[in-house]
Structure 1
Amino acid sequence: MIGDESDLKLSDNAITLLRRRYLLKNEKGEVIETPVEMFRRVAKAVAAADALYGDNPASSEEEFYRLMTSLYFLPNSPTLMNAGTEIGQLSACFVLPVFDSLTSIFDTLKHMALIQQSGGGTGFSFSRLRPRGDIVGSTKGVASGPVSFMRIFDVATEVIKQGGRRRGANIGVLSVSHPDIIEFIRAKEHEGVLRNFNISVGVTDAFMDALYHGESYPLVNPRTGEVTVELDAEVIFDLIVHMAHKNGEPGMLFIDEINRKNPTPGVGVIEATNPCITSDTWIMTAEGARQVRELVGKRFAVVVNGKKWETTRRGFFRTGIKQVLRLVTLEGFELRLTPDHPVKRVGRGGHRVEGEWIRAQDLRPGDKLIVNDHTSLGGWDGRFTEKEGYIAGLLLGDGRKYMGPYSSENSRECVSMKLISKELGLDLKNKIITEEMERSSSEFYRGLIRGIFDVSGSVQEDHLKGVVIKLSHENLELLKAMQRMLLRMGIFSRISGFGLKDRPLKPNELVISGRSVLHFYNKIGFGDKEKMNRLYQAIRCYRGRIPPERFVATVKELVPDGVEDVYDLQVPGINSFDANGFHLHNCGEQPLLPYESCNLGSINLARMVTDDGEIAWDLLAETVRTSVHFLDNVIDVNRYPLPQIEEITRANRKIGLGVMGFSELLLRLHVPYGSEEGIEVAERVMSFIANEARKRSQEIAEARGPFKNFEGSIWDERGYSAIRNATLTTIAPTGSISIIAGTTSGIEPLFGLAFVRNVMDGRRLIEVNHVFEEVSRSHGFYSSDLMKRIAKSGTIRDIMEIPSDIRDIFQTAMDIAPEWHVRMQAAFQRYVDNGVSKTVNLPHDATLEDVREVFLLAHRLGCKGITVYRYRSRHEQVLTLDAHIELDTEYASGCPVRRCLH
């Protein structure tokens, strides 16, 4: 083995780590392969996927081998450990669902064990579990709550990791709206509790809005959908800040930001919160009005503002059983939907009807909502004629004087009308507009509306509104249906109900005013000649004073309306649809699929620098292309621990190409981490990687086909003809593989210029930054005593004999102001499909206000999540500075100068 390892220019620490955890061993625990052989094993196993597509694996094997042995790129640890072995499980992270039943919880526990046994990490959302103290129906006892079950998962992980090569790693998430959120936030208050979990609070936009406005927000029982209590958002936020300051947890995950950017569901450990509507909702389609229940699993065309848009082939899909609200407007329009469903509201300020999306639960009385303007829609085919519609309208309005030949019981017309009435479900006693009527052709609509208005309508003049057309009827439900039908014809109306105690029988009225009067005249008209002439004369009189129609409805109230099955769909290109007349946003991703996994790999940016101190863009491009090919192949050769995982992973083909050594790249470019120039480098590098990755994924898709769920994905919406992978980029922490590569972790700044790294099994590896050692020698200020001083504090910030320009460049994590940490994370996030792993390392004397500002800035800058760690806030931590280290500075480095520097 000696010789092969030095050919790879591996550090002493890397060799130690590889021998302990990565290299194959025999039954006696003896290492039986070299690092070179490990890379060859991995390259051969991953390249084998090429044969599935008729390509020659041999050339790819050589490419992959050179990619890894040059330390330009390394895949995640399970791939290095398991590729080419009987285990064969190569993915790093898995999302497992936790449903609210004992069977589901312990099924998930079993699945977690299988995944962790093969080296994978697991993430869970515990938000579906009923809260502590809630009723357990089967036993009539009380539930113990999510945190209690997390302890069971934690103990199981502790047992599994004792026999594993990789630390058991769990991420636990709980929604900020869960009734047990306070217990969850405090769950790790005492060190050693839930030690195998990192925990984060899933924070919504609604919570952050309540925080910014000093308002309360509701806690909702996930079992019933009922609000249990309202809490002051600031109190909860302050508790999160306090606990994060105390020991680094919980972090915050901005779930709505994640879902806005998600091309497919289940990124990281976060459950998507699909907005939904009920099955009885009316959708305007190119074939007329249809209810959601008729459109499940079917491709169709929606009509939005008179224009047609194709949905994906699956049409509406069920998203589960959820709490439902009833949205009621002053104008009479109503809709049943989930609290998180976005509706289009008139933008704040001004009278122009410009929309902004807002969740239903965030609406307030008086908010103006945009409804659909179908004035440009020509019509649609369907059952029943205008004549049949007119007779039905007369019957609903009791218009016997208009019936003519239909009034004779034995006439052919009357017999025909009886048959049609039966098909329409017409009930002359209840006098309602039936579902079959709403499904009919636009010609039937025209006749029906004209017939009802001939009997019960009137033309009036109003000193404020000018000409108005009114329809009076005792049946409010008939007027609501009539309002929906008029809107589909491009005619806006309002319903006003009197309901006064002294006039209890006064009928409700539907009122048409403004420009909609003209549309009624041109599209519908009266059959009654006297009313039609009155309308014609009134329009002539007021023509120059008829105001435009705004197609806006005013929120009256939102009321809880039970729990039931709900549905959503996708409409590529416009991402919205007409539901009971309202503009609704479609879901941001496909329905949530549990058991998603992702395989990761990272490019070593420290190797992407030319001898002249510039970024080697051509080399970086080539590395990205080969890495995408490598990671895509992993999906095909992977052996999945569960069939559900295999099915979904192959359907979405998510990969997560990231970076490591970013801090070292900046050092080699002589750019400070905490600077505008540092932010600019981050954006240039990550945007370049993202673009090259997309190009390569498109090329692979052209040869091998896109991922199965491509249709309806965000890539489909953006006009891509095909792409191989639902996601392409992720910034992982790269703790172990960065040691193998001999560079800095992920996008983290230097923790210290000398520090101790605690790795698995309690071992302590000493690392001294080799770039600084090189610079100190070349600038002539290197000395053994100086290195010992640096080793005690990790920083050179206050060592004045070192030139100031070098002190500025060699910043450590705790030298950098918290703002720059967050801004750097946000810079990468702008060009990353999935999440960005980064910790805001704070000095021990950081304040609660420092932590608070970090969290708020992360939200404002669009980060998907944020984690802070105040130095020495725990007794046990991965990286430490040590005032008592004794070092031989020339060789104690993680990578001795004479072997590693180019």
Structure 2
Amino acid sequence: MKNGKIGSKKVSRMSDDKVNAYFSENALKMMRKRYLTIDEKGNQEMPAQMFRRVAHYLATVEKNYKHDDEFVKNIEQDFFEIMARREYTPAGRTLTNAGSATPLIANCIVLPIHDSMDSIFQTLKDAALLQQAGSGLGFAIDEMRPAMTKTVKSRGNSSGPVSFLKIYNEAFGTIKQQGRHGANMAMMSVDHPDILDFIRSKETEGELRNFNISVKVTDEFMRQATEAPDTQWYCVWKGEKMKPHKILRHPNGAVYGVEEINITAGQLFEELVNYAWLNGEPGIAFEDAWQRTNPLPGLGPLRATNPCGEQVLHPYDNCNLGSINLAVFAKGRSVDYDRLRFVTKTAVRLMDNVIDRFDFPVPQVTELAKKNRRIGLGIMGFADLLYQLGIRYNSEAGLAVAEKVMGVIQETAHKTSRELAREKGVFPNISLSVFKKKRLKMRNAALTTVAPTGSISMMLDTSSGVEPNFALAYVKQDKDGLQYQYLNRHFEKELHRRHFDEKVIARIKEEILKTGSIQALTDLPKDLRDTFVVAMDMSGEDHVKIQAAFQRHVDNSISKTINFPNSATYEDVRQGFVQAWKFGCKSCTVYRDGSRNIQILNLGTGENIVSTTEAPTKLVKEKANLEIDKGKLSPRVRPVVMNGKTYKVKTGYGNLYITVNNDEVGAPFEVFATLGKTGGFFQEQTEGLCRLISLSLRAGIKVEEIIDHLKGIRGPMPTFTEKGTILSLPDAIAKVLEEHVKTNGHMKTDMTVQEIDSLKKEVLEPVAVHTAVGEEGTARSMADYGLMPGCPECGEALTLSEGCLSCKHCGYSRCS
């Protein structure tokens, strides 16, 4: 190998064979499918050839700026080295198209939809051309008039934005983007009168399958929802304040009317949270935070994002993305910041050169790309970097690393843009930018963003974006249903470094195949368990804190998902959204594991995973139509908005929060209940019980019958109070339901309102508990016996000693 000078550092040049040998079979399988081109003889290139193709094509741009051949040659080598060493990669469309026969485009674009049929269908045409070329798209649909608004030309009524969104969805479903279906984002402002229709538009899995959806919320809305939740929320259309609409549809979907809804800001926020809890959508975007950091205010307000929400753009602007792989910058227990600065500087030049080569099928996109010269340099491999540094992701040290690495990238990227402005000229729209007042000469309107890096992180076998690893072992499936098996290589390497024997390693692998985590293996060293945490080992607040730490050093936004376990509660999701707003994030997305039939990331061996090629609507809607069910009752349909009360009750399992919602005549219609800090242990039983109670109420079963069947059920952990005893979770729900109907005048009872409120002072009865052994000799969990394995005060695990449950973390004792 020859030595070549890269910047101020000498590194050994890599042979093509060595470059190709770096890539795993999983990576090669994905690359052959997406990125590696095939020549006219049917020969497919290898990774090193792909990097050389891209480097050469982009380096020749330098000739347009009067650089000589030697300069161009050195730049080409720099471009090749940072890709070949897996330190950086441009986005997928650049890898595929640069230097090939296909025009070079960006991964994603925002298009406008104005309030006219001409605009709606012209944008659909533009979108079809861009999707055919390989771009994902973002749309703001809140310029379209609300349902049942008069239309002048047709002398009829509008069917509303969601109906046109369905037309777009069907069109995109028939278009293939170089072998893959299009990704798209639809966004609507919280003050649009049809906002309730939009929030519920993906209630059924499989609806609007080609779109992600997010609600744009203002600071005003968030303040009202959190500080004055009982005040009416008003929408605005053409300067007129109005209440949100409930859209009335025939069974075939045709709109025939609207009703104004009395709904508070708190209730509207609850609707948003409820559907996010249900299946992960909608996400939430903080519109005022966008506008405060809008780099081009002269182009007007920012209206929408790209499909994954991290790039906020003006209409016709694009996201020219690329990502630095932080995992390869670990040098022992430190970060090679000198090399990170060089790679950042080289990547900015490469991405700026991409803009000169853009050739979109829609001329307005090419024009604005070259006027703004916006790039989105981000990162991946952050979680894997922390594994190598021995730092826990959700720790103060983890936050500090996030701040420092992104701060170095941000500072270097902006410095490089200023240098390129002196060398090549400023971006043409600089007079419309914030840099005019600052008197800064910049080559690019914006420089940093953090994209999700799904495919390119697979290519480099590293963790995605700023995300923690989903699991230490998992199965990932792509959009065509192909599966990829993963075991974290840094974890596997660490097991061997610590000289675990093969039997122990086999046991550990068996555990992570089932759960993805090692936190239950308490016999493993604590520092190992602290370092190798995964997404569901941490709280929603932990996720948000990391996102906020990166956001402080990013021009645009960040693609980040708060991954919750299936047992996560409505309140967990609500707090995630509120914290993201308070911490200064620009958006927030949540996902509760198992809340959809079809998932990209899955635990296990890959068996019994529903393929992404399945039709989810069939999975949801297929019914058995059993003969024995003929003539049986069916539950009433749930209204869009309901009123009710939430009660807090102390139980032997922690605080129980019970919400009872009423129908139009004030009778109970549905019941929800969530446990507090220890909810994960018994939340699924509580949820199942409440679903059956709600089903019974909606089917017309007498409330008194439900109360009689639940009240008095005794569990192993009764709670004694000054006013009486809460015998179990079913008993608590029954007593609250009884009190609820009594206070509404529907039933007589001896229980008072004060009795519910007085359940604060507990006198707990000691319960002797014995550990049992199952058939195979394995110790059974306390939860198997209905006993609470989590502390009701702090949520940590309880231990059994001398017949009493106690918490070593905070000192709680069941017997004191």
User: TM-score when scaled to structure 2?
Assistant: 0.67
1:34 to partner: Cα distance: 1.5
Cross-structure match for 2:53 = 41
Whole-Å Cα distance in 2 between the matches of residues 256 and 202 of structure 1? 9
Partners of 1:265 and 1:593 within 8 A in 2: no
1:228 to partner: Cα distance: 5.0
Cross-structure match for 1:621 = 341
Asked if 1:743 corresponds to 2:462, the answer is yes
1:799 to partner: Cα distance: 1.1
Cross-structure match for 1:631 = 351
1:123 to partner: Cα distance: 0.2
Which digits, 9 at most, give the CA deviation of each residue in 1:112-163, with x for residues without a partner?
11111121110000010011111111111111111111111111221112x6
1:26 to partner: Cα distance: 5.0
Aligned 1:290-439 pairs, distance under 5 A: none
Partners of 1:826 and 1:861 within 8 A in 2: yes
Q: What secondary structure sits across from 1:874 in the alignment?
A: coil
Whole-Å Cα distance in 1 between the matches of residues 77 and 297 of structure 2? 35
Partners of 2:476 and 2:601 within 8 A in 1: yes
Whole-Å Cα distance in 2 between the matches of residues 27 and 199 of structure 1? 41
Asked if 1:244 corresponds to 2:276, the answer is yes
Which deviates the most, 189-198 or 30-39? 30-39
Asked if 1:677 corresponds to 2:397, the answer is yes
1:21 to partner: Cα distance: 1.3
1:11 to partner: Cα distance: 1.3
Whole-Å Cα distance in 2 between the matches of residues 825 and 696 of structure 1? 25
Cross-structure match for 2:570 = 848
Partners of 2:48 and 2:84 within 8 A in 1: yes
Residue identity opposite 2:568 in structure 1: A
Cross-structure match for 1:574 = none
Cross-structure match for 1:362 = none
Aligned 1:520-599 pairs, distance under 5 A: 593-599=314-320
Q: What secondary structure sits across from 2:535 in the alignment?
A: coil
1:268 to partner: Cα distance: 14
Cross-structure match for 2:324 = 603
Asked if 1:776 corresponds to 2:776, the answer is no
Whole-Å Cα distance in 2 between the matches of residues 770 and 269 of structure 1? 44
Q: What secondary structure sits across from 2:523 in the alignment?
A: coil
Asked if 1:798 corresponds to 2:550, the answer is no
Q: What secondary structure sits across from 2:51 in the alignment?
A: helix
Partners of 1:793 and 1:883 within 8 A in 2: no
1:38 to partner: Cα distance: 1.1
Cross-structure match for 2:23 = 10
Whole-Å Cα distance in 2 between the matches of residues 108 and 816 of structure 1? 42
Of the three residues 528, 532, 536, the one matched with 1:814 is 536
Q: What secondary structure sits across from 1:711 in the alignment?
A: helix
Cross-structure match for 1:686 = 406
Give the total of aligned pairs: 563
Whole-Å Cα distance in 2 between the matches of residues 225 and 111 of structure 1? 32
1:613 to partner: Cα distance: 1.9
Whole-Å Cα distance in 1 between the matches of residues 300 and 482 of structure 2? 29
Whole-Å Cα distance in 2 between the matches of residues 153 and 269 of structure 1? 24
Which deviates the most, 663-672 or 784-793? 784-793
Cross-structure match for 1:178 = 192
Partners of 1:4 and 1:34 within 8 A in 2: no
Cross-structure match for 2:726 = none
Cross-structure match for 2:67 = 55
Cross-structure match for 2:420 = 700
1:48 to partner: Cα distance: 1.9
Whole-Å Cα distance in 1 between the matches of residues 313 and 339 of structure 2? 38
User: TM-score when scaled to structure 1?
Assistant: 0.60
Which digits, 9 at most, give the CA deviation of each residue in 1:698-723, with x for residues without a partner?
00001111111212522233342x01
Partners of 1:755 and 1:881 within 8 A in 2: yes
Q: Which has the higher contact order (CA 8 A, sep 6+)?
A: 1
Of the three residues 235, 256, 264, the one matched with 1:232 is 264
CA RMSD of aligned residues (A): 2.3
Cross-structure match for 1:762 = 481
Whole-Å Cα distance in 2 between the matches of residues 606 and 52 of structure 1? 35
Partners of 2:26 and 2:458 within 8 A in 1: yes
Cross-structure match for 2:212 = 198
**Residues 834 and 761 of structure 1, relative CA distance in 2, 3 Å threshold:** same
Cross-structure match for 1:646 = 366
1:270 to partner: Cα distance: 4.7
Whole-Å Cα distance in 1 between the matches of residues 158 and 425 of structure 2? 48
Residue identity opposite 2:493 in structure 1: E
Which digits, 9 at most, give the CA deviation of each residue in 1:241-299, with x for residues without a partner?
000000000000001111101112699995189xxxxxxxxxxxxxxxxxxxxxxxxxx
Bigger radius of gyration: 1
**Residues 265 and 772 of structure 1, relative CA distance in 2, 3 Å threshold:** farther
Asked if 1:165 corresponds to 2:179, the answer is yes
Whole-Å Cα distance in 1 between the matches of residues 43 and 150 of structure 2? 54
**Residues 269 and 771 of structure 1, relative CA distance in 2, 3 Å threshold:** farther
Q: What secondary structure sits across from 2:334 in the alignment?
A: coil
Partners of 1:8 and 1:69 within 8 A in 2: no
Whole-Å Cα distance in 1 between the matches of residues 302 and 134 of structure 2? 21
**Is there any run of 5+ residues in structure 1 with no aligned partner, and where?**
274-590, 887-902
Q: What secondary structure sits across from 1:710 in the alignment?
A: helix
Aligned 1:247-258 pairs, distance under 5 A: 247-258=279-290
1:789 to partner: Cα distance: 2.5
Cross-structure match for 1:715 = 435
Asked if 1:103 corresponds to 2:118, the answer is yes
Asked if 1:140 corresponds to 2:155, the answer is yes
Partners of 2:110 and 2:316 within 8 A in 1: yes
Partners of 1:95 and 1:266 within 8 A in 2: no
Of the three residues 198, 203, 214, the one matched with 1:189 is 203
Asked if 1:24 corresponds to 2:37, the answer is yes
**Residues 31 and 239 of structure 1, relative CA distance in 2, 3 Å threshold:** farther
Partners of 1:4 and 1:35 within 8 A in 2: no
Identity %: 44
Cross-structure match for 1:867 = 589
Cross-structure match for 1:127 = 142
Cross-structure match for 1:75 = 90
Whole-Å Cα distance in 2 between the matches of residues 141 and 87 of structure 1? 44
Whole-Å Cα distance in 1 between the matches of residues 203 and 479 of structure 2? 23
**Residues 817 and 690 of structure 1, relative CA distance in 2, 3 Å threshold:** same
Whole-Å Cα distance in 1 between the matches of residues 43 and 573 of structure 2? 45
Residue identity opposite 1:841 in structure 2: N
1:884 to partner: Cα distance: 6.9
1:786 to partner: Cα distance: 2.6
1:652 to partner: Cα distance: 0.8
Aligned 1:445-594 pairs, distance under 5 A: 593-594=314-315
Whole-Å Cα distance in 2 between the matches of residues 635 and 686 of structure 1? 24
1:803 to partner: Cα distance: 1.0
Whole-Å Cα distance in 1 between the matches of residues 543 and 379 of structure 2? 16
Whole-Å Cα distance in 1 between the matches of residues 86 and 50 of structure 2? 13
Asked if 1:656 corresponds to 2:376, the answer is yes
Cross-structure match for 2:237 = 221
Whole-Å Cα distance in 2 between the matches of residues 239 and 673 of structure 1? 32
Partners of 2:321 and 2:375 within 8 A in 1: yes
Q: What secondary structure sits across from 1:216 in the alignment?
A: coil
1:205 to partner: Cα distance: 1.6
**Residues 648 and 178 of structure 1, relative CA distance in 2, 3 Å threshold:** same
Whole-Å Cα distance in 2 between the matches of residues 593 and 884 of structure 1? 41
**Is there any run of 5+ residues in structure 2 with no aligned partner, and where?**
1-14, 245-261, 306-311, 609-816
